[in-house]
Amino acid sequence: MSATPHSDYRAQLETLWEHDALKIVAVIGAIYLIYAAIGLVLGYSLDGIINTLRRMTYLIAVYGMVTLALNLHWGYTGLFNIGIAGFMAIGLYATMMLAKPADPSGAAQYSGLGLPVPIAIVGGVVIAGLAGLVVALPALRLRADYFAITTIAFAEIVRLGVTSGALQEFTVLGAELGTGGGRGLIRNYGDPMNAIFELGAFSSFVDLTNSLFGFGPTQARALAYSIVLVLVLAGFYWLIQRTSRSPFGRVLKAIREDEEAAQSLGKNTNRFKIKVFVLGCALMGLAGILWRFRRTGVTPTAFRPHVTFYIWIALIIGGAGSNTGSVLGSGLFVAILFEGPQYLRRVIDQVVAVDDAPNTFAGAVGPLLSADPAPLVRYTFDEFLTLQFVIMGVALILLMQRRPEGLLGHREETAAAIPLGSRPSGAGTGGSGGGGSRGGGNSSGGNSNDTGDDPGTGVDHNRTHGHSNSASTDAPDHDHDIEPRTTTDATSETSETSETNETTHTGGEKP
């Protein structure tokens, strides 16, 4: 059974690949390498290349966060939320309204509550979560498609609401607030990242980036911001991994698979759905805040349904149901569909001098009659940003047709707090003391004894449906007393098992 060194190496690689974090680093690292390599070949300056990568990091981190939250909704629970942009908008707008100074001065026309930025962020997250609750309470019992329509209508209500002139300025409980209408809000308070930027250690970071990449302070700040976002993304990942790899996550999956069956197994599915929807919406709100809170302001156009569309593509690329896939999906989405076309365009622009394009499609197509495709090519090139959306749409169609389970194949993470898998050794022979009880416990004891011909009922097969001794004593959640049990006759059962195994097999295999 000696393996060749080659296959050994390969097996090692495969086990490495099993580590999710590594997978993420590998794929995103590969993307960065490609981008950097192209930049180097074309002789871009180092700070330009790093800047491109920084921008990508920022996008991947933010989209990754939202995709993870959406995975919680759709991938795990089957809640068809296409109102993502709305929850992100609520988070950001709420934060800005809370953080803006109470008495407006100068260009910053609208007043806020003047709260410190960290509190404003928490407030924004909470308000986004509450918005989720408002939607969830009535809407969760709707069919998936109706739920989808409700969420997108909600998102559009939010967007139209903040755009409308009527809410431009309003008063709540004596506090003057405003959404700024179509022109949006100006951030007339300090950079929310100042808490970090004003640290003493940060100046050495600025020096470091200056000596390494020739960055100025602004670029250094942007880089630090991206790094912080990556850390937050890691936090999101951790949180959602924990959430999904747990009994809680197991119920979520069960709801997605068959809600009625989950209910008949004792799960109050509505409670789970509300909890997870609120959590996801709060996280979407946080991602919305982090996405744009450093900008000089916010306008409603940022929250067009496009954002929702991006996140869905990212989720489907990575494969719904997988947290790792969500992060990978947003990486691939940003690299290939979001930044890719624009980068490509820049590259082409630099390599070949593209002539002026015709102004209209007619001007581009007309020369085709005389077999001159150049104007069409130039027009296409000119309109590349438009075509990018077409490409995204087509990509989504193709994904749904060919790989609905995601580019990376169907991968789902097991919903349990511990690794499941083959039976832990030592167990299974009843060694741990096949104690157990009919969980419902006492009340039934009397009942069954009356009819059962065997008063010692529950002994023989306790192991099948009761706790082991240690389990029963450790579990504090049982409100029934657990009677001590005799040890199960393990041997008799094992022999029985082996005897009947074959029949089960044949029986089992028949469809």
**387-416 binders of another protein (CB under 8 A):** 387-390, 392-397, 399-401, 404, 412, 414-416
Instruction: Supply 186's token pair.
Output: 């100006």
d(CA 201, CA 324): 33
Contact 291, 334 (CB under 8 A): no
Nearer to another protein, 188 or 322 (CB): 322
Nearer to another protein, 94 or 276 (CB): 276
- Residue 388 CB, nearest distance to another protein (Å)? 8
Contact 329, 318 (CB under 8 A): yes
Helix ranges restricted to H, 293-413 = 306-318, 323-332, 340-351, 361-365, 374-382, 384-402
Rule CB under 8 A: which of 134-193 touch another protein? 138-139, 141-146, 148-150, 152-154, 156-157, 160-161, 163-166
Binding residue for another protein, selected from 183, 191, 217, 248, defined by CB under 8 A:
248
Nearest to 281 by CA among 493, 398, 437, 134: 134
- Binding string to another protein for residues 192 to 211, with x set by CB under 8 A, is what? --------------------
Instruction: Supply 228's token pair.
Output: 């912080």
**467 by DSSP, 3-state: which?**
coil
Nearer to another protein, 139 or 336 (CB): 139
Rule CB under 8 A: which of 275-334 touch another protein? 275-276, 279, 309, 312, 316, 321
Nearest to 289 by CA among 65, 103, 132: 65
- Binding string to another protein for residues 14 to 53, with x set by CB under 8 A, is what? ----------------------------------------
Angle between helices 306-318 and 46-70 (to 10 degrees): 90
Nearer to another protein, 208 or 368 (CB): 368
Binding residue for another protein, selected from 7, 264, 370, 425, defined by CB under 8 A:
264
Helix (H) or strand (E) holding 84: helix 84-99
Establish if 12 lies at the interface with another protein (CB under 8 A): no
d(CA 121, CA 98): 8
Binding residue for another protein, selected from 13, 25, 119, 265, defined by CB under 8 A:
265
- Residue 105 CB, nearest distance to another protein (Å)? 28
Looking at residue 500, what DSSP letter applies?
H
Amino acid letter at 292? R
Nearer to another protein, 53 or 415 (CB): 415
Nearer to another protein, 25 or 397 (CB): 397
- Residue 481 CB, nearest distance to another protein (Å)? 14
Nearer to another protein, 210 or 270 (CB): 270
Q: Cα torsion at 240, 244, 246, 249 (round to 10°)? A: 130
Rule CB under 8 A: which of 50-89 touch another protein? 80, 82
Binding residue for another protein, selected from 29, 208, 242, 489, defined by CB under 8 A:
242
Nearer to another protein, 218 or 264 (CB): 264
Burial of residue 370, with CB atoms counted within 10 A of its CB: 0-12 exposed, 13-18 middle, 19 or more buried: exposed
Q: Could you tell me which stretch among 1-9, 200-208, 339-347, 433-441 binds another protein (CB under 8 A)? A: 433-441
- Residue 12 CB, nearest distance to another protein (Å)? 23
**412 by DSSP, 3-state: which?**
coil
| Distances in whole angstroms, Cα of residue 107 to Cα of each of 103, 187, 295, 473 | 12, 10, 16, 67
What is the distance of C-alpha 465 from the center of its chain?
A: 37
Nearer to another protein, 219 or 308 (CB): 308
d(CA 269, CA 272): 5
Nearer to another protein, 14 or 499 (CB): 499
| Distances in whole angstroms, Cα of residue 14 to Cα of each of 89, 213, 332, 482 | 42, 35, 21, 46
Rule CB under 8 A: which of 93-122 touch another protein? none
Nearer to another protein, 203 or 386 (CB): 386
- Residue 499 CB, nearest distance to another protein (Å)? 10
- Binding string to another protein for residues 434 to 473, with x set by CB under 8 A, is what? x-xxxxx--xxxxxxxxxxxx--xx-xxxxxxxxx-xx--
- Residue 452 CB, nearest distance to another protein (Å)? 5
d(CA 103, CA 116): 15
